[in-house]
Amino acid sequence: MKKILGALVFCAGLGLVSTAHAVDSTGGCGLGSMAWRGQSGIIPQSLAITTNGFFGSNTFGVTFGTSGCDPNGRITGGTGRMMLAFLEDNMEQFAMDAAAGKGETIETLAGIMNVDSATLGKEVQQNFAYIFPNDNVEAVDVTLRVMQIAHA
Amino acid sequence: MFRLFLIFYLFFLSAAVARADNLSNYAYSNEWIKLLHYHKKSDSYIGLINAKSFYISPDGRTNPEVELRAEIAAFQNGKSKCDFPARFNALKKQNLISGNLSNCSKYQQFLHDTQPNGVTILFTDAFMNNPASMFGHTLVRIDTARKGTQMLAHGSNFGADSGMDSGIPFILKGLFGGYNGKYNLSPYWTIINTYNNIENRDIWEYQLNLTAEERLKFVNHLYEMKSAEIQYFFLTKNCSYMILELLEAVRPELDLTKHYNYWAIPLDTIKTIRKVPNLVGKINYRPARYTKIKHQLQQMNPAQYAAFLKGVNEHNYDTPDLTETEQSQVLESEYQYYQYVYTSGKMELKDYRKNSFAVLRKRSALPTPQAPTVEAQDPSLSHGSFQLSFSGGIQNHKSFEQINIRPAYTGLTDDNYGLISGAGVRVFETAWRWYNQKHKLVLQNFTALNIYSLVPADRVFSPYSYKADYSLQREYNPQNQTEGYVANLEFGIGKTLRITKHCWLYGLLNANGQYGGFIPDNYWLGLTPEVGVFADFSPLRIHLSAENTFATARFGNRLKYKADIAVSLNKNLSLNFEYFTSHNKRGHNSQEWLSAFKWSF
């Protein structure tokens, strides 16, 4: 019994694997610090409409999935879908990087959009209040505004 | 003519025999054995993977050669090859099959999504004060060639599929192989979020120097393993052990798993990988959110610190006295602090949004300062976790020699390069003692578990410190001057204060008890206030403590003083001087001196 109890804590350390796994198994997405995301959490089905609303035409060929989540837990899809998936999970880090004008999330988004990261940093900092108009903003809106700013 | 025919005939026959010979040679080659995770058990082989689909032939799990022949036949007919790209490539390289994988759409999609161009081993450090994380955790990352950063890479975690189990059933099933382990895949950014931002654990990235062929083989093999189920044992066949198995499959001449028949501590496996010449390349450190905030607070000048406290306590972010750069540093720290508090469940979502948004609004109007970089010590360069101590001492005028054997992990006064200062975890330590006068060898102590976790509290973070002990000990009874065995159980909680940067004062309230036929009434329970000092002037470390026990039985009532002074000669060698005295309330005293030479490896 003594051994078992001793082993208990030794293993609990390794047991965390399981806890982490349990968290991951929620779909490999939607994890992370998503407290900023609107309460619904799920991307509205009218996304395509929103897209058209913003860009008027499909100039950029944006095709979003219904959500950034991939059942295989992989990063997949085109620019828009990848950005949405990324921002859904990293909105808070991005908010800070956007406020500062630089950071890893800006470099990542610049990579996805294939634009210069320093320029993007400046642009998102200058347009912070536009990208984040209130504390209840949806990832999808942030995605669209960042794209709009970057391609403007 | 007939002779010529005979010669040809013999030639073809021998070629066929040679091919058969080559085939059975290859079936037992390092490459094949390790790629399919066979392990030799006396004369036979058994595959580590329990999933039936992992071996094609019904006898494949126990017969490498039957499996090889079955796979050649299957792959040649285009069957199953898409599920096993690493095996397919290995057999093709041996000229045993032909064809390619271009029609395997799922596999091609996998390559398209991951865009692999490297392999990195990840070690997630312990979070101080979280005993469950003390031994760390390891994962692998498939580095990506995508534009941007490695946030777009994919991490793979090997974990027990424990369903909804928790508590004791979870631990017991985990210990004795009641779960299956499985690999999963997720974007690296979710791994960063899980460990850095939710669990507040630092991540260390060890990039491997692999050839292009090895890199592809690793990724392909990971793809094969996605359906694999492996009986999961917390101590042995765990996350860290499996990474060694993967590496051996990719580079068969490596022999990494042989050290891990009994237990695999994550950090130890990283050390093993680092010992292979030139295997580990670039090392990158990714501090946890908590680490970053702590670091930023340390870097602040007094005015910034005051502004930070005003901000997070009163939500007043007006700081006219600070320069713009100083302001932005404070605001960034405040934002991260709100995230930390919210993630710990100590702030409502509504307040969190309002506060963090206010801070960021202000921040976005300021210029960009240089981002502070956090320096840290590589945990894989810490001292060895196995320790032998050789000591001599005097207990109540009797001299003795002693050997301590400690399989894991680190003592409070051990060298702490790469580890957390103020934390000690000792597991399964055994002390054998030889008394010179009596010519007697005794088991002096068996410590199943001993933890000290001293974490200084300050005005921003105020964590608890605690200690725990579960051990079997030879105890001296001064009343009748005899010795016997008792079981100790102790748990205590309290606070630590920083007197100076290197010298801390702590107070704990411990609940403790002893059980054993040797002591009057067989047991006692007690409450023990403890005060102590921990000073870390590396290479000199001092731990002093005083404890006063109020127990249910007179035998337990005692006042104890302890001193442990350690001098590190290098990371793995140290000299210790320990003193301990116990005053029974009836005036029966016992005391012990001990000097030790400790060797970690």
Using an 8 Å CB-CB cutoff, list chain B residues near A111.
146-149, 152
Using an 8 Å CB-CB cutoff, list chain A residues near B472.
2
A38 & A68 share domain: yes
d(CA B267, CA B272): 9
Helices B349-364 and A79-100: crossing angle in degrees, nearest 10, is 70
A21 & A50 share domain: no
Adjacent-strand bridge partners of B326: none
Q: Considering only residues B270 and A73, tell me which one the structure prediction assigns the higher pLDDT.
A: B270
d(CA B341, CA B312): 10
CB contact residues (below 8 A), chain B span 221-250, against chain A: 234-235, 238-240
d(CA A70, CA A64): 12
Whose tokens are 């979870």? That residue is B170
Least CA distance to B125: which residue of chain A?
A13
pLDDT tens digits for range B34-57: 999 998 888 899 888 887 788 999
A50 & A7 share domain: no
From B28-42, B356-370, B392-406, B550-564, the region with the lowest mean pLDDT = B356-370
Return the sign of the alpha-carbon dihedral for residues B73, B77, B83, B89: positive
Query: In this structure, what token pair is assigned to residue B321?
Result: 């006295």
The pLDDT of B66-74, averaged and rounded, is: 93
Chain A nearest-CA distance from B529, in A, is 24
d(CA B463, CA B319): 28
A49 & A1 share domain: no
Residue B135 parent element (H or E): none
A82 pLDDT above the threshold of 70: yes
Q: Is residue B577 within 8 Å of residue B567, measured between CB atoms?
A: no
A20 & A44 share domain: no
- Residue A120 structural domain: 32-151
pLDDT at B132: 56
A103 & A121 share domain: yes
Least CA distance to A129: which residue of chain B?
B361
Secondary structure class of A53 (helix, strand, coil): helix
Q: What is the ipTM of this complex?
A: 0.86
Least CA distance to A83: which residue of chain B?
B152
Query: Is B349 within 8 Å of A23 when comparing Cβ atoms?
Result: no
Where in the sequence of chain B do the CATH 3.90.1720 domains occur?
A: 109-286
A112 & A66 share domain: yes
Q: Is residue B510 within 8 Å of residue B531, measured between CB atoms?
A: no
Q: Is residue B511 within 8 Å of residue B490, measured between CB atoms?
A: yes
The count of domains in chain A is: 2
Separation in Å, CA A74 to CA A70, B189, B372: 6, 11, 32
The pLDDT of B514-525, averaged and rounded, is: 87
Dihedrals phi, psi of A76, to nearest 5 degrees: -150, 170
Secondary structure class of B254 (helix, strand, coil): coil
Q: Is residue B403 within 8 Å of residue B368, measured between CB atoms?
A: no
Q: Considering only residues A109 and A12, tell me which one the structure prediction assigns the higher pLDDT.
A: A109
Question: In the CATH hierarchy, which top-level class contains the domain B109-286?
Answer: alpha beta
A vs B, Cβ pairs < 8 A, gives 240
Using an 8 Å CB-CB cutoff, list chain B residues near A19.
132
Interchain CB contact of B189 with A (< 8 Å): yes
From A20-34, A51-65, B98-112, B259-273, the region with the lowest mean pLDDT = A51-65
The pLDDT of B398-427, averaged and rounded, is: 91
pLDDT tens digits for range A22-53: 333 333 333 333 343 333 333 332 232 222 22
A1 pLDDT above the threshold of 60: no
B593 pLDDT above the threshold of 70: yes
* Minimum-distance CB partner of A14 among B186, B234, B428: B234
A24 & A99 share domain: no
Q: What percent of chain B has pLDDT over 90?
A: 60
Query: In this structure, what token pair is assigned to residue B8?
Result: 């040809």
Using an 8 Å CB-CB cutoff, list chain B residues near A4.
172, 175
CATH 2.40.160.40 fits B382-600, yes or no: yes
Using an 8 Å CB-CB cutoff, list chain B residues near A91.
none
Query: Is B332 within 8 Å of A96 when comparing Cβ atoms?
Result: yes
* Minimum-distance CB partner of A10 among B179, B342, B427: B427
Least CA distance to B176: which residue of chain A?
A4
Question: Starting at the edge strand that comes first in sequence, how are the strands of the sheet with B179-187 ordered?
Answer: B230-232, B179-187, B154-160, B137-144, B116-124, B203-208, B280-286
**Three-class secondary structure assignment of B31-68:** HHHHHCCEEEECCEEEECECCHHHCCCCCCCCCHHHHH
Query: Is A100 within 8 Å of B328 when comparing Cβ atoms?
Result: yes
A117 & A62 share domain: yes
Query: In this structure, what token pair is assigned to residue A84?
Result: 């949405």
A21 & A38 share domain: no
* Minimum-distance CB partner of A35 among B353, B363, B451: B353
* Minimum-distance CB partner of A11 among B194, B235, B451: B235
pLDDT at B175: 64
* Minimum-distance CB partner of A13 among B132, B161, B162: B132
A8 & A74 share domain: no
pLDDT tens digits for range B460-472: 998 899 999 999 9
Q: Considering only residues B134 and A65, tell me which one the structure prediction assigns the higher pLDDT.
A: B134
Return the sign of the alpha-carbon dihedral for residues B416, B420, B423, B425: negative
Where in the sequence of chain B do the CATH 2.40.160.40 domains occur?
A: 382-600
A21 & A87 share domain: no
Query: Is B186 within 8 Å of A28 when comparing Cβ atoms?
Result: yes
Interchain CB contact of B327 with A (< 8 Å): no
Q: Is residue B150 within 8 Å of residue B188, measured between CB atoms?
A: yes
Query: Is A10 within 8 Å of B449 when comparing Cβ atoms?
Result: yes
Burial B148-173 (b: 16+ CB within 10 A, else e): bbbbbbbbbbbbbbbeebeeeebbbb
d(CA B444, CA B594): 13
Separation in Å, CA A82 to CA A16, A119, B190: 29, 20, 14
